Amino acid sequence: MSDRRHFLNTTLLAGLGLANMNFSFSDTKAKTIKPPALKAGDTIGLVCPAYSAFVKEDVQIAIESLEVLGFKVKKGEHIFDRYGYLAGSDEDRAADINKMFADKSVSGIMAMHGGWGCARILPLLDYRTIQRNPKVFIGYSDITALLLGINAKTGLVTFHGPVGSSSWNNFSVENFRNMLIEGKAMQMANPVKKGDNLVQVEDRIYTINKGKATGALIGGNLTVLSHILGSPYVPDFKDSILFLEDVGEDLYRVDRMITQLKIAGILNQLSGFVFGKCTDCPPSKGGYGSLTMEDIFEDHIKPLKIPAFSGAMIGHIKDKFTIPVGLEATIDAEKGSITLSEAAVNK
Look at residue 288 in the predicted model and tell me its pLDDT.
65
pLDDT, position 4: 44
Do the beta carbons of residue 112 and residue 163 sit within 8 Å?
yes
Residue of 160, 245, 310, 337 marked catalytic: 245
Active-site entry in 52, 141, 166, 240: 141
Predicted structure pTM score = 0.90
Distance, CA of 93 to chain centre: 18
- The three state secondary structure string of 176-225 is HHHHHCCCCCCEEECCCCCCCCCCCCCCCCEEEECCEEEEEEEEEEHHHH
Positive/negative CA dihedral, 251, 240, 120, 312: positive
Cβ contact 157:324 at 8 Å:
yes
What is the Cα–Cα distance from 121 to 118, expressed in whole angstroms? 6
Q: 187-340, which class in CATH?
A: alpha beta
Classify 303 in phi/psi space as left (phi over 0), alpha (psi -120 to 50) or beta: alpha
Structure confidence at residue 178 (pLDDT): 98
Distances (CA, A) of 8 to 5, 116, 299: 9, 12, 29
Concerning whether 227 is annotated as a catalytic residue, the answer is no
Q: What is the pLDDT of residues 183-205, one digit of tens each?
A: 999 999 999 988 889 998 999 99
Active site residue 2: no
Establish whether 231 is a catalytic residue: no
Amino acid at 264: A
Residue 344 CA to residue 341 CA, distance in Å, equals: 9
CB within 8 Å of 6: residues ≥ 6 apart: none
10-residue mean pLDDT profile of the chain (347 residues): values are 41 38 48 97 98 92 97 97 96 98 98 96 98 98 98 98 94 97 97 89 95 98 97 97 96 96 97 97 74 96 98 96 98 98 97
* Cα–Cα distance for residue pair 64/84, rounded to 1 Å: 27
- What pLDDT does 12 receive? 37
For residue 234, the Cα-to-chain-centroid distance in whole angstroms is 12
Domain-wise residue ranges, the chain: 2-180, 187-340
* Architecture of the domain whose range is 2-180: 3-Layer(aba) Sandwich (3.40)
Beta carbons within 10 angstroms of residue 254's beta carbon? 22
